[in-house]
Amino acid sequence: MRTERTQVAIVGAGPAGLLLSHLLHRRGITSVVLEIRSRDYVEKRVRAGVLEQGTVDTLIEAGVGERLQREGMPHHGIELRYGGQGHRIAFEKLVPGRCITVYGQQEVVKDLIAARLADAGRIEFEVSDVAVHDVDSPAPSVTYTDSHGRDVRLECDVIAGCDGFHGVTRRSIPEGVLTVYERDYPFAWLGVLARVAPSSQELIYSRTERGFALHSMRTPQISRFYLQVAPDETLEAWPDERIWAELKARLETVEGFTLQTGPILEKGITPMRSFVVEPMQYGRLYLAGDAAHIVPPTGAKGLNLAVADVRVLTNALVSWYRTGSTELLERYSADCLKRVWRAQHFSWWMTTLLHTFDSDDAFGRRLQLSHLDYVTGSEAAATTLAENYVGLPFESALYD
């Protein structure tokens, strides 16, 4: 087994791991990123596409926002559609100077990979048998088999677990250390990517008696749609014709609106789950992004929470390497979880506000409609939605 050395070993080449590596590099800290998938796979993996204001600002400040600024689509509002009417939540009025930007997660990943490779950064794709060791000691390490079949031991000061919900890092923490908070929802999302220009300039969140639907987009030529479906639904049950018919039934509920259709490029079913582990650290292992928390996608918070975690971890590591103080590292979990739980509540709230639950619960449906009327009729309530949707400001700047 070959032995190598770096300061920070990062498991996972999603947005969290790549951004962490890039931010550390800009502050003189070395890292190696390990990823079980190929570069082609991670650059084409379609995930989130709504970036908070703070996420956009972070990427620009990090020097990886050139294409984002050129191709991203800023949105200054969203529409809540129900009861045959559309109600716009106007960000420019409610939270002046802040908006969201539609720019696919895979595009963020491409930008970060390009930046790391341009800086001679090391990303090991297609590794296998990844395992973390001695995280409760001052000398942790990661072992893996590289893409050429060679066994490697990567010695380091710190391990960052950015390998997602199903990754190995969280599962390497001894039983009993973590407290798990989770909730499963009685429905899933059928996500569709289609080659058709968006039928609306802004996102539409539509609540109907048939179930929830979301009209989104990725580019001026590519649209993204979601349908609420049963949690055990299969893709075989949803041929293209049925998808378009159901999208029309749930979105063409406002007079004058017509949903444009086109070739479906990709579709998949995503379970709806809320999940948090506490603490987000153990010894020299720090969890970030989906490795530590999952939110239902209704609030568009997953990618943005990963960026927030990475900002906190970057500041803590820079402080430690420069001053020797472990104060920020010791506070990492507590500092992240304040934002995580706020995002969890917002995502749960948006989910319960817009989805159809028990079809026999007439009382619940009336409560839901009353709440929608309040959100769309009260500037104070609409402002609460808007400021959470565009993202609360970060408590501290990046360590310079």
Phi, psi dihedral angles at 104 (to 5 degrees): -60, 145
Asked about 297 being catalytic, the answer comes back as yes
User: Could you say which of 215, 293, 301, 355 is catalytic?
Assistant: 301
User: Could you say which of 103, 144, 286, 389 is catalytic?
Assistant: 389
Separation CA 103–CA 119 (nearest Å)? 24
User: Could you say which of 75, 76, 215, 293 is catalytic?
Assistant: 75
Separation CA 168–CA 132 (nearest Å)? 8
Measure Cα distances from 208 to 191, 254, 335, 349 in Å.
Answer: 17, 12, 38, 17
Helix (H) or strand (E) segment spanning residue 185: strand 179-194
Two tokens, residue 76: 């200054």
Asked about 185 being catalytic, the answer comes back as no
Separation CA 191–CA 232 (nearest Å)? 15
Give the single-character DSSP code of 56. Answer: H
Measured N-to-C along each axis, helices 15-25 and 105-118 cross at an angle, to the nearest 10 degrees, of: 30
Give the closest residue to 237 by CA, choosing from 188, 199, 294, 297.
188
Task: Specify which residues 246 forms β-bridges with.
Answer: none
Asked about 301 being catalytic, the answer comes back as yes
User: Could you say which of 144, 205, 282, 332 is catalytic?
Assistant: 205
Measure Cα distances from 276 to 35, 151, 180, 313, 349 in Å.
Answer: 23, 33, 6, 17, 16
Phi-psi label, residue 300: left if phi above 0, alpha if psi -120 to 50, beta otherwise = left
Angle, alpha carbons 52-54-60 (nearest 5°)? 105
Separation CA 21–CA 294 (nearest Å)? 22
Tokens 């703070």 -> residue:
54
Separation CA 164–CA 232 (nearest Å)? 22
Separation CA 355–CA 109 (nearest Å)? 31
How, if at all, do strands 8-11 and 158-161 pair? parallel
CA end-to-end span of the chain: 37
Tokens 């996608």 -> residue:
297
Give the closest residue to 344 by CA, choosing from 311, 287, 302.
302
Q: What amino acid positions are annotated as catalytic residues?
A: 75, 205, 297, 301, 389
